[in-house]
Amino acid sequence: MDHEDRIALFLDYENLALGARDHLGGVTFDFRPIADALAERGRVVVRRAYADWSYFDEDRRMLTRSHVELIEIPQRMGASRKNAADIKMAVDAVELAFERGYISTFVICTGDSDFTPLVHKLRELNKRVIGVGVENSTSALLPPACDEFLYYDRLEGVDIPPARVRRGRPARLPSPDVPRVEQEPEPEPEAPPAAEEAARDVDTLAVLVAQTVAGLQGSSSGEVTASTLKRTLLRKDPTFSESDYGFRTFGELLRHLAGHNVVELAEGPAKGDPEVSLPEHGDREVAFGLLGSVVADLVGDEGAVALSGLKNQLRRARPDFSEKKLGYRSFLQFCKAAATSGVIDLRWSPEADDYLLTPRAA
């Protein structure tokens, strides 16, 4: 059990409960989805929730059954009461970070940006910080400060009722002197399916993974494992979750990308943690060949092709072309790699104020 993460959980309960009520169709906040998500990440040894519990009587019973310690912050002094709750929660978290060295992860459940300094301090103390908040009531400043951020609305077990369609105002009855004209009722707009709203572009994900693998390969001499890749993706976007793209596990996501030749998988140092790399052959060589053929076709009397506008020419020949899927951060970087591979020649022209490409003689 020593290898397990010890987790301390702190809930700004009023922020979560009101966020769920106001932005999730009036749903009642349920602690169970958060508890289940944290069970997958480690052993929760501290559970504390802060609120004026006289306003959350039913919720208090639900949290007590889940063994959450309730910290009472009476509502007596208006706005200062909220500050008192925030300060109490922040002080308790920092105190615990100093007194309980075995606690490795702090979970701060709130969408309030006022807790951003607390997150920074905990990370400064070498603690991993996971944030949890309702998406539409979470400040944009908070998720990037965390190591990982979970949106409550996306957790398994959170049932959000479909959005109600707003009905139009009833038509005014016509005056007796005005002839009545029959009009067809306007169709009510259909609410978009939740699955379509939550769906994300897998091609965009492929670009993100390829660029991340390329960056890791360039910055470290060792192999890039799946666990390292996942941690890096979370550092780039703490809200990242493979489930948002329709995959049950990160391994399933990697196998999908490997099947589309975005990455290659090999046996890693530990079981279930494969090594991830960019394909050495395949799409990259095909793309280099495409670049060489397009440059050869476009070479005119000047014997060179300007870099500007060249990418559009490649997409005319191959609409799905994307240098980012191959791990290159820019089209210029892709062309430099093609020049290094001997496909084309690339040079800067002060007269043209652009890079010029020429086909390399066979």
Give 30-47 pLDDT, tens digit per residue.
Answer: 998 898 888 878 889 999
Q: Are 220 and 130 in contact (CB under 8 A)?
A: no
Q: Where in the chain is the domain with CATH 3.30.420.610?
A: 281-359
Take residue 242 and report the two structure tokens written for it.
């493979």
Does the domain at residues 202-277 carry the CATH identifier 3.40.50? no
**pLDDT, tens digit (0-9, with 9 covering 90-100), for 111-138:** 999 999 999 999 999 999 999 999 999 9
**pLDDT, tens digit (0-9, with 9 covering 90-100), for 319-342:** 878 787 777 777 888 898 888 888
Q: Are 340 and 358 in contact (CB under 8 A)?
A: no
Whether pLDDT at 278 is above 90: no
Whether pLDDT at 88 is above 50: yes
**pLDDT, tens digit (0-9, with 9 covering 90-100), for 203-224:** 788 888 888 888 787 766 568 8
3-state secondary structure of 346: strand
Query: In the CATH hierarchy, which fold is given to the domain comprising 6-154?
Result: Rossmann fold (3.40.50)
Instruction: Specify the CATH architecture of the domain 281-359.
Output: 2-Layer Sandwich (3.30)
Give 71 or 212, the one with higher predicted confidence: 71
Sheet of 6-12, strand order: 69-72, 43-51, 6-12, 105-109, 128-133, 148-151
Element (H, E) at 78: none
Give 5 or 171, the one with higher predicted confidence: 5
CA 99, CA 148: separation in Å to the nearest integer? 24
**pLDDT, tens digit (0-9, with 9 covering 90-100), for 223-276:** 889 998 998 888 888 888 888 888 889 999 999 998 888 888 988 888 889 999
CA 299, CA 291: separation in Å to the nearest integer? 12
Q: Where in the chain is the domain with CATH 3.40.50.1010?
A: 6-154
**pLDDT, tens digit (0-9, with 9 covering 90-100), for 174-183:** 444 545 545 5
Q: To which residue do tokens 């009472």 refer?
A: 72
Whether pLDDT at 197 is above 70: no
Element (H, E) at 268: strand 264-270
CA 223, CA 178: separation in Å to the nearest integer? 81
